[in-house]
Amino acid sequence: MPLPTRPARPTALPVALLLATALMTAGLTGCSALSPFNTCDDTEARLKDLRSQPILNSTPEGATASKGLDSVDARCIDDTGDAWLYAERVYAFPGSRQEVVDFYRTAAKADGWYLPPAPPALGTPETAAGLCFTRGGDGDALMLTLRFTTAGDLKIEHDYDAGPEFDSGSGFEMKVGSETDGAKTGCWD
C-alpha cells in the first residue's frame, strides 16, 4: 500500500511576488542589492595614477595656476549611479584660446593622447568647445578634456573668487578622467 502524499504547494507564485517586491523596493529607494554600477570603493590607487599624469602640469608658456587652485584636485564622484574618477588643474593664460588649443594638440599627442574627430553635428569651434583626447584601452582607458572657463564659472563650480589673472586672456581646465575599472570610454559617447 503506497503511503499517502500531500499535494505539492505551488511555490512559483510566492517566489515571484517576493522577487517583484524586492525589485520594486530597490527601484523606489534608488538602491539595488545587485548593483551593476561601480562605486568609489578601493579607487585610491587609480586616483593616484590620474593625479600623476604629466599632461596636467604641462602648460603653454605664461600659464599660471591661481592661489587655491595651484595643485591637482583628484576625486571620485559617485552621485550619478556609476562612479567616475578625475584629476584636474585650472590655469589662467594671458594669450588666446587658439594658442591654448594649439599647445595641447601638440603636447597631448607627444604624451600619447589621441584626438578623435568631433562629430560633424557638434559644429562648435575648438576655441569654444575645448578638446577631448583618449588614451589606453579596456582596463586602463583615460580621457583628457580641455575646457575654457571664466571667473564666473569658477565661482559657480568651485566657489572660487578668481583674481585679476582671469580678467584677460583664457582661463582653462585640464581634466583627466576614468571609469573606476578603467573601462574604455570615448569623448563622443
Q: Could you list the pLDDT tens digit for every one of the 189 residues in the chain?
A: 443 433 444 444 444 444 444 444 444 444 444 445 678 999 999 999 999 999 999 999 999 988 888 899 999 998 867 899 999 999 999 999 999 999 999 999 999 999 998 887 777 888 888 999 999 998 899 999 999 998 888 889 888 888 777 777 789 999 999 999 999 988 987
Q: 99 CB contacts (<8 Å, ≥6 apart)?
A: 60, 93, 170
Q: Which pLDDT does position 170 carry in this prediction? A: 83
Residue 179's beta-bridge partner residues? 84
Closest CA relative to residue 168, chosen from 80, 62, 82: 62
Q: Which pLDDT does position 36 carry in this prediction? A: 53
Grid cell at residue 180? 573606476
The predicted-structure confidence for 99-145, as pLDDT tens digits, reads as follows: 999 999 999 999 999 999 888 777 788 888 899 999 999 889 999 99
d(CA 67, CA 78): 28
Query: What pTM, to 2 d.p., does this model score?
Result: 0.76
Cell numbers 584660446 correspond to 97
Cβ atoms of residues 37 and 30 within 8 Å: no
User: Residue 48: what residue type?
Assistant: K
Q: What are phi and psi of 20, to 5 degrees?
A: -60, -40
Cβ atoms of residues 187 and 108 within 8 Å: no
